[in-house]
Chains A and B, each alone.
Chain A
């Protein structure tokens, strides 16, 4: 007991001395305050409103009415079980495919492995509907394969099977990237030792390799599950009557004007996501055996036996080709007059997109351009504070920025309506709120990039600068930021892409005044105008590519040398 007390008072006095230090440094102090205040208002407060709304009647009395409706509503229960089913199936499939790709990449002697990284990158830089749209173009009622080639009259890809296909193809790169990292960090000499002790290749895989990456597999399942559960765009586009919690929130609060009911569903989705996220973060990640510190003692000898290589590599190549084909289909579709009926070429869809849709293109781009530098800088500042400084409130900043990773976009959307519709802060319908939503949604990636590159930099370098007379602002801008320049710029790119392609949160916030490309695509898909949808998607992809191109040019001008931005 007295030990605990001593420990606690030690922590407290330590915090206090650090705070005294910070109080003498007004710039550091204001940076910390700025982060705490903005995270409180734009991350924590809306979620609090969601919780509050679900517990109170509109007249302000406490009530569990929303929850009674929630569990008595057949629709909501169905959406809940649908969500779990979809998440589980997609989690398993995407992890399996991702593992196959990762194993292929790390272990097999094959050519063209770079293709896998390209495939893994595609879902990240494309509009949220890309795969769904292509699948509809191929397998829908007027699909190229189902209708044109096979002549089927009533092919129906909408619903669970379509969703499973689309989500698996969209989310397996998450599993791939995670598992490549894990497999790469296994010291090959561990597997050599197993072989040396008499294990066959299969036995080595089953008894050594697989147990070593088991936590990674569990984690990738959870991450894909979270992603699937939070996914809004695909269920909207290809879900048909298969409602999930994410779409249910939207339908309830926007379609039925029942924000309280929507909030109750949102709480359910929030709880589910948070639970999975906590399990992933604090339980699965603790179980990782592999230490990533030391360098592998030597190169791994790739497997050349045809009996192993051919089936695995063959499957991966086939899937890669399908994914590539799906993405190529979108620009093709944008030039086809009437998909499934009239395959003649036309520019009509672009005329429409640049005519009626020009406002959406323009609004999306400039709002994203405003959000991007703020996100980038804020992300680096938060990363710097979290990695390098000790202060009261650091736990909060950590928690709030993790929170914005775990919370599904639709929950944020409902929260923003609830939080910013009434005083003290009225922002609904303004461009400001859209920009804020963009920032909050893409901030975690910027922070993560900053944190991981800061952790690779010897803190002594910053101490040396302080020792030579640099203030904390001078250290950040003269030493830290130049050193994490590459992470900073890839953070910028990610932020821009995320903003350009975001839909789930902002769909709750748009008004007639501002429109966004992703929402225009959704409208076109819902009214079965796939040509225009494809044209919008193609334009979106081109803008994103242009941004990547310009940033890379800028980076080489700034002398980052051959260090191109790696989108992985």
Chain B
């Protein structure tokens, strides 16, 4: 059984000089979080949000400007990367171009002065696990992108690290391969039960891989939650917007009840599920309306005009004009149902239990 490590970040900050050398840029701003042993956690956010910097600080390539990194309650800030028990899968794969597949994977074990027989056995097992058995003697430049990715993964796995770090490892692969590798990574991680930290800007990757998603923006954590939580109950407008598609409609809180919040939207009342301590009666808020909870039809609450209508195969996508708001709507499985043409008028209603409220920024 492999050891599992828990990672804790306390008040972590990192500053860089700006590229023109004129100022300072705070890439990571006072981040604290705990990653449980054996968890698969994703750092998700737009480029420049500080997610990769956090990963590189955990690996030891960057030194924090302030704050601490703890591994199993031991401070590891000052340990150089080669002394840390983590292994990283790089975005560019970073395979050693002068070594073949076997030697790439064996590299770290050889540095550990492991007997050659053990190395051979472990490397073979690792290559088999990532589905590359038999390609030992290939050079990196003789492999496809997906295969290189697998070598990079095997090279990290073979070290039996206590923490596995992924730096956008799938961003150089095509869409289909990406989905396949996503499943592989999840399968292997579950099999080995490794603590894993995964950096990505692709929300689908984050949703499908993680136990927990950490959404970041401008160097700060916006929300930590399960995939369901960050999608259904986003903590801010940013999170709602970044994960999936969201329509935002301005509404006013008129009552706060123990199991729901009542808002007024265009004169109509809606009951939004969930007790919200943080809101006040009379407060102006943003109503989050996901595309799939909107119903179009002959009947409904509001009048609207169809501005775009696109057939996508598994769904029909609309954009409608609702009292000046441009509303994106997804009608899943439109087969056998009425489709509305562009320019026509329709009536719109919401599935109330899918509504969510975020505070105005």
Give A contacts to B, CB under 8 Å.
3, 6-7, 10-11, 13-14, 17-18, 20-21, 24-25, 458, 460-461, 463-471, 474, 478-479, 482-483, 485
B61 CB–A CB distance under 8 Å: yes
Say which one of B78-86, B294-302, B311-319 lies at the interface with A: B78-86
Interchain CB contact under 8 A, B23 and A467: no
How many A-B Cβ pairs are below 8 Å? 84
Cα–Cα distance between A304 and B17 once the two chains are bound (Å): 51
Interface positions of B from 1 to 40, Cβ below 8 Å from A: 15, 17, 22-24
Are B15 and A10 interface neighbours, CB within 8 A?
Answer: yes
In angstroms, Cα B83 to Cα A279, docked, is 46
Complex CA distance for A131 and B361, rounded to whole angstroms = 76
Known contacts A10-B15, A11-B17, A460-B92: A467-B107 contact under CB 8 Å: no
Q: Number of contact residues on B: which range applies?
A: 20 to 34
Which residues of chain A have C-beta atoms less than 8 A from B92's C-beta? Answer: 458, 460
Query: Could you say which residues of chain A place their CB within 8 Å of the CB of B175?
Result: none
Partner of B94, one of A11, A463, A469, A478: A463
A467-B59, A467-B82 known; A460-B96 Cβ under 8 A: no
Q: Which residues of B contact A7 (CB under 8 A)?
A: 17, 22-24
Name B96's contact: one of A24, A474, A479 (CB within 8 Å). A479
Chain B residues contacting A464 (CB-CB under 8 Å) are: 88, 90, 94-96, 155
Contact B63 A465 (CB under 8 A): no
The one of B60, B84, B91, B107 in contact with A465, judged by C-beta atoms closer than 8 angstroms, is: B107
Residues from chain B with a CB closer than 8 A to the CB of A482 are 98
Contacts of B83 in A (CB 8 A): 469
Q: Which residue of B lies closest to A485 (CB)?
A: B98
CA gap between A471 and B307 in the complex, in Å: 62
Alpha-carbon distance between A176 and B98 when the two chains are bound, in angstroms: 33
Q: B90-115, CB under 8 A of A: which get 1 and which 0?
A: 11101111100000000110011000
9 pairs of residues in contact across A and B, judged by CB atoms under 8 Å: A21-B63, A461-B97, A464-B88, A464-B95, A467-B87, A467-B88, A468-B111, A468-B155, A483-B96
B→A interface (CB under 8 Å): 15, 17, 22-24, 59-61, 63, 65, 78, 80-84, 86-88, 90-92, 94-98, 107-108, 111-112, 155, 159
Identify whether the interface residues of A are mostly helix, strand, loop, or mixed: helix
- Which of B15, B80, B107, B155 is within 8 Å of A21, CB to CB? B80
Contact indicator A468/B24 (Cβ below 8 Å): no
Given A17-B63, A463-B90, A474-B111, residue A469 in contact with residue B23 (CB < 8 A): no
In the bound complex, residues from chain A placing their C-beta under 8 Å from that of B97 are 461, 483
- With both chains docked as a complex, state the minimum distance between the C-beta of A10 and any C-beta of chain B, in angstroms: 5
CA distance A499 to B314 in the complex (A): 73
Do the beta carbons of A469 and B111 come within 8 Å of each other? yes
Residues in B whose Cβ lies below 8 Å from that of A465: 96, 107
Identify which of A14, A460, A466, A483 contacts B82 (C-beta below 8 A). A466
Contact B80 A24 (CB under 8 A): yes
